[in-house]
Amino acid sequence: MSATSSGDVSRRAFLKASSGLVIGFALAPRLAIGQDRPAPLPGSLNANRMLDAWLRIDPNGTVTIFTGKIELGQGIGTALSQIAADELDVDLKRVEVVSGDTARTPNEGQTAGSLSVEHSGTALRFACAEARDILVSAAAVKLGAPAAELKVSDGAVSAPSGTGVTYWDLARDTDFKREATAKVKPKQPAEHRWVGKSIARRDIPKKFTGGAAYVQDVRLPNMVFGRVVRPPSPGAQLLSVDEAAIRRLPGVVAVVRDGSFLAVAAEREEQAIRAREALARSARWGETESLPPTGDALYRHMMSSTVPGETVVEKTSPVVAAPVKTLEALYTRPYQCHGSLGPSCAVAQWQDGKLAVWTHSQGVFPLRAELGKAFGIPPRDIRCIHAEGAGCYGHNGADDVALDAALLARATSGRPVKLQWMRDDEFMWEPYGSAMVMKLSGGIDAQGNIVTWSHELWSHPHSTRPGASAGVNLLAARHLAPALAPGLPADVPQPAGGAARNAIPLYDFPNVKVVKHYITDAPLRTSALRTLGGYANVFALESFVDELAAAAGADPVDFRLRHVKDPRARGVIEAAAQRAGWRPSARGDGTRGRGFAFARYKNLACYCAMAADVEVDRKTGRLSVTRVVAAVDAGQIVNPDGVINQIEGGIIQSTSWTLMESVRFDRTRVITRSWADYPIVRFTDVPEVEVVLLNQPAERFLGVGEGSQGPTAAAIANAIANATGKRLRALPFTAERVKQAMA
């Protein structure tokens, strides 16, 4: 698609969004003192209780559903439309989806934690079931027939007499501006036409054909282009800059300097890039050594923190015999990037004192509130509209660049500004996944059963998203004069957990203690990277289970089954082992091996077990993951192909984290600035992946997007140990580390 046609598409979308019907969201009604709280409603319906916040029947023959969750490659727009189509009895093609717009959609907070289908899907299921009941009741009055005798097919309601009426006929006189009750029972699985089928994804065609799919593609009338100049290091302060010289460059529209925040806008994008380069050359900074030591010293530094340990869980059983053998092991994970393929981007425009932002934020409502704090204006004067970004699960620079664009747009006399980060901005300044240390110890009795288990961990924050604290959690805010402090967020509480996510074993161990050291004073900014602490904790936990199995002389799969009672957990373990052709107690041949791992994400979401095959080049240390077989129980499955996509994607991403990814820095600067500094898996490195789905139509939805990352790391680690007899406990498993272990 040409630049002109792309611009026309985006302009039409903008005008349609700006002029369309505004649908607000409703919170639970205020209560008088002494009045009972309203009954809880399912999923996100509980906090957004009005039916018209979730759907609209349009006279033109379409259904519009509204969700506060956003599409970021997980396919939820497709899955949610399947749920709505089934409950309303309409064809899937009639369903349009509006997501992540603070002027139109319900407030569902962040799209995070693999909760979109579980929370938003559940809300839409009950809202649409109730809406259908309202429409059928209205049809019964119009047709003079009992509602129980009416049938619905693709929005057409018919009576036994042959008379009929459509939803579209009833739309003008049907009022959904009422509070949901959730008393109408959704359909049984046997009645579903769409749920449970692999429906083609709605978001793929434009991405595949080069259409206007991303926020980077947005074009607005009279738009200018922006770039930002960041400090060279986290502790740097701006001393001087020649603004006048930059203003004289061709095409420059505005230069903004506020404290240590520097940005430039120009008529054309290449002019903005050249102006950024000149601005960076002109700037003089004062720098300090503010970063921690590197390598193993980093983990010793974290463990030396004075932050006291907090007991996450403790369970004791005095009747169990004392262990006859004990083990202890230390596992580590480095800082890691999101590595989004498209650098963070936003479009901002000020008009009549009000701000509009097109953003790939995963939480448009929290971002709106944070922008309100940054500019000192009420959130109602800000509209945040989601436009998909080119890559991210977690908190990358999407929210930060929204503030950058809004700060620059204040200086452009009402012209919209598209501000995109450069690659070095993204690598140096995005919030990283925190480095972590996990110290595990455990003991087995004379029968080879685990009787004691201890998991102690050290971690920086895993969520500094907007809305995570009373401060302003946006990067530029800390560079302004005066600076707006980000605030120190509390850790994500259990049962989901943040730093300690998945640190509580799902196995039936009689004596368990989990302790976390939550170090809020982070020298490098950290936040949510897919799974939060779950990736590292599952890697450590499942690696250590294998180490204890070896100490007990037991097969890893049998050993796990011996310690777990949950039938759904046992189901995925057995299914993965069977499909992979697991051979009990089989040993590797020195270069090839197979490993196994299991977890239930957050101990609340989907169950996932897998076997991974690896090959090790003992001379070079190069490690190849050749095959992964995973079994997944995600409750009722809405779109099987979508679930497989998520599990496959998680396995590939985790393989990259596990084999290659680590942020590099010295005592002053982050030195990871390009893809050359931060290798990721290439197509030639991707393993063959097979996913077995254990559908549970009678069970509730379980989040799946983050279910496979932790087991992947552990299965690879266990496969290396199986192949070579050497145990790797420090991520990532680079060729250098493997070669050292072989030596």
User: What is the reported pLDDT for 212?
Assistant: 86
pLDDT score, position 7: 35
User: By the 8 A CB rule, do 346 and 419 touch?
Assistant: yes
Are residue 257 and residue 314 in the same domain, yes or no? no
Q: How far, rounded to the nearest angstrom, does the alpha carbon of residue 637 sit from its chain's CA centroid?
A: 19
Domain end marker among 159, 177, 209 = 209
Q: Is 190 exposed, middle or buried (0-12, 13-18, 19+ CB in 10 A)?
A: exposed
- CB neighbourhood size of 532 (10 A): 30
554 and 603 co-located in one domain: yes
Q: Are residues 237 and 385 in the same domain?
A: yes
CB 214 within 8 A of CB 10: no
User: What is the mean pLDDT for each group of 10 consecutive residues in the chain (743 residues)?
Assistant: 33 34 33 62 95 95 96 92 98 97 96 91 97 97 96 97 96 91 96 95 89 92 98 96 97 98 98 98 96 96 96 94 96 97 96 97 97 97 96 93 98 98 97 98 97 98 92 96 92 96 98 97 94 98 98 98 98 98 95 98 97 96 97 97 96 98 97 96 96 96 96 98 97 96 89
Q: How far is residue 49's CA from residue 652's CA, in Å, rounded to a whole number?
A: 39
Length of the chain counted residue by residue: 743
Q: Do residue 185 and residue 240 come from a single domain?
A: no
Q: Is residue 317 part of a domain?
A: yes
Name the residue type at position 604: L
**Inside any domain, residue 298:** no
Q: Is residue 36 part of a domain?
A: yes
Q: Which domain holds residue 379?
A: 215-286+338-429
CA 9 to chain centroid: 28
3-state helix, strand, coil in the chain (%, to 5): 35, 20, 45
Same domain, 414 and 559: no
Residue 64 CA neighbour count, 13 Å, CB half: 17
Q: How many domains does the chain have?
A: 3
Looking at the structure, do residues 408 and 439 belong to the same domain, yes or no?
no
- 547, 637: one domain: yes
Task: Measure the CA–CA gap between 471 and 485, rounded to whole angstroms.
Answer: 6
Question: Quick one: pLDDT at residue 36?
Answer: 63
Instruction: Report yes or no: 334 and 663 within 8 Å, Cβ to Cβ.
Output: yes
Is the Cβ–Cβ distance between 333 and 435 less than 8 Å?
yes
pLDDT at 546: 98
Q: Is residue 477 part of a domain?
A: no
Q: Look at residue 492 and tell me if it is in a domain.
A: no
289 token code pair: 């050594």
Please tell me the distance from the alpha carbon of residue 196 to that of residue 636, in angstroms, as a whole number.
8
Pair (604, 661) in one structural domain: yes
Residue 472 falls inside a structural domain: no
Residues 244 and 222 in one domain: yes
* CATH code: domain of residue 580: 3.30.365.10
Residue 262 and residue 169 in one domain: no
- Do 107 and 227 belong together in one domain? no
- Give domain status of residue 485, yes or no: no
pLDDT the model gives residue 8: 34
Say whether both 160 and 251 belong to one domain. Answer: no
Could you say which of 386, 404, 429 is where a domain stops? Answer: 429
Among the candidates 175, 209, 243, a domain finishes at 209
If you search the block for the tokens 């011996």, which residue do you land on? 562
Closest Cα partner for 464 from 400, 405, 539, 401?
400
- Asked if the structure places residue 733 within a domain, the reply is yes
